[in-house]
A and B are shown apart, each in its own frame.
Chain A
Amino acid sequence: MIRKFFVLVLLLGLMVIFANLLFGYVMDKELNASAHYYAEHTANDLGAANIVTAIIVTYRGLDTLGEVTVLFLTASIIGLVLARSKKQKVAVLPRKSPSPGELLVTGSYLLVPLILLLGAYVFINGHLTPGGGFQGGAIIASASLLLLLTDPLRHFSHRLISRVESISGLFFVGLGVLGIFLAGGFLDNRLLPVGTFGSIFSAGIIPIVYSFIGLKVGAEFTSMLINLAETEKKEEQSK
């Protein structure tokens, strides 16, 4: 009872702070200095139509590299925590899972290629339309989630996933380092010509880097899902 009281007092205090913030908030009329710079210079300097993408991939590309590293660490820690020693594996034949049903199976065969295509479209067009590597990667991972839903015992190739992940990570960093020598700095997108504004082959290396990010994020999310799903599988086996 006394715990609940303290929690309520704490939340009430926070509510007062939030109310102050909310009622004291004045919407900006003009862009602030950094946003003004991005709005003015992105199109001419980098050739990207989507300013958010330009910020993520080029202006703050180092942050994105850190973010991708955090995701990679998360995926590996999940793999590490859920991995079990081989001794614990009990040699019992896996329980046959109930049939997922005709609709789910046929629907997934129809949808999975389309979802993968949409994911690729989203990350290749990241510099022109809303979307980009992270969103496209998440869409690609949702295709593998659909496959897992249809057949929870399906086996995915861990080697393929980790290859895709490491190769795209390597290319991402490699292109960034090339930028130091051939362009303005680490992850500068003007390694390739900026091109015509608004066409798909424009904005230098932004589409290429964002595609690698998309593949990497997709592989990482997929490996998280698979690790979680396979734990369940082992659980069933050892019962």
Chain B
Amino acid sequence: MSWIAMTTGFILILIGLYGALTNRNILRIIVSFTIANTGVNLIIVAVGYMAARTAPILDEAVPIAEAVDRIIDPLPQALVLTAIVIGVGVTALMLTYAFKLYEVKGTLDISKCKELKW
């Protein structure tokens, strides 16, 4: 099962990068980055998966004594939780800067912003 998630993740990263590199509209670039971000998260979670095991939550179904043989790696999940929250923050910042850019330039097309171009 995990190779499906992993393949999807890699494809999402490629789609996101393609969108970020070919689009000129800054909002589309932001959406592309979000897609690539989702792909990375998907891959990290898929790496933590192990066949015939369950989520790392101990209850009646997974007694403490059997935990070592029954649960998957909890660490990638904790890292992805962090990554998702930081992703939200980064997306919000990008949107704010896009708004500011629109306010100053009156356009969302980055090919019209030439101050730093040489």
Contact = CB atoms under 8 A, between A and B. Distances in A.
Interface of A: 3-4, 7, 10-11, 14-15, 18, 21-22, 25, 27-29, 31-32, 34-36, 38-40, 42-44, 49-52, 55-56, 60, 63-64, 67, 70-71, 74-75, 77-78, 81-82, 128-130, 132, 134, 138, 197-198, 217, 221, 224, 228, 231
Contact of A78 (B71, B78, B92): B92
Contact of B56 (A39, A63, A75): A39
B85 A52 contact: no
A140 to B, nearest CB: 14
A29 B73 CA distance: 11
Contacts of A231: 99
Contact of B82 (A35, A39, A67): A67
B53 to A, nearest CB: 9
A52 B56 contact: yes
Nearest to A50: B57
14 contacts: A10-B21, A18-B14, A25-B6, A27-B49, A31-B50, A35-B75, A39-B71, A50-B58, A51-B56, A51-B57, A56-B78, A67-B86, A81-B97, A132-B81
B73 A27 contact: no
B95 interface: yes
Interface string B48-88: 01110001111100001001100101110110011011101
A3 B88 CA distance: 30
B25 interface: no
Nearest to B95: A228
Chain A contact residues, majority secondary structure:
helix
A15 B7 CA distance: 11
Contacts of A134: 81, 84-85
B22 to A, nearest CB: 6
Contacts of A28: 50, 73
B13 interface: yes
Given A27-B50, A78-B93, A55 B85 contact: no
B18 A130 contact: no
B22 A36 contact: no
Most A C-beta atoms less than 10 A away, residue of B2, B18, B75: B75
B21 A82 contact: no
Contact of B64 (A27, A43, A63, A64): A43
B68 A40 contact: yes
B67 A39 contact: yes
Contacts of B78: 52, 55-56, 60
B56 A74 contact: no
A42 B58 CA distance: 10
A228 B92 CA distance: 9
Contacts of B71: 31, 39, 51
Interface string B34-59: 00000000000001011100011111
A218 to B, nearest CB: 12
Contact of B93 (A7, A21, A34, A74): A74
Interface string B9-29: 010011001100110000000
